[in-house]
Amino acid sequence: EVQLLESGGGLVQPGGSLRLSCAGSGFSFSNNAMIWVRQAPGKGLECVSFISSSGDNTNYADSVKGRFTISRDSAKNTLYLQMNNLRAEDTAVYYCSKSRGTFEPLDTWGLGTMVTVSS
């Protein structure tokens, strides 16, 4: 069974840092692009960042550029999102998902992990 399991969320003060992880299983991790999508409370979906299957190409939403870093460890089948200088507007559920390529759909999603930025 194809699964994605996020972890690392929690409550953090403005300006703080968190690292999210997403463990993949049941599929060829190294052959899939990986994506972080977030959903603020009561709001829609926003692609935060994605990384190519090889790890050579990354992309960030303007709202997180310079603060978030995406990475992947294919040996561990794990995706990461390092989040620095967090702001209140980063409060959201963060989902991990996968795609077979640039124009392909996000075919599997994790359960999500909640990040709350508040003092």
Residue that the structure tokens 């996968």 belong to: 98
For residue 106, give both structure tokens: 């996000």
User: In the bound complex, what is the minimum distance in angstroms from residue 34's beta carbon to other proteins?
Assistant: 12
Q: Which residues bind other proteins (CB under 8 A)?
A: 35, 37, 44-47, 50, 59, 61, 95, 99, 102-112
Residues 112, 78: Cα–Cα separation, whole Å: 15
Q: CA separation (Å) from 55 to 58, 71, 111?
A: 7, 7, 23
Pick between residue 10 and residue 105 the one whose CB is nearest to other proteins: 105
Pick between residue 16 and residue 116 the one whose CB is nearest to other proteins: 116
- Residue 10 neighbours by CB distance under 10 Å: 12
Pick between residue 43 and residue 119 the one whose CB is nearest to other proteins: 43
Residues 14, 85: Cα–Cα separation, whole Å: 7
Pick between residue 16 and residue 114 the one whose CB is nearest to other proteins: 114
Q: Sign of the CA dihedral 94, 100, 104, 105?
A: negative
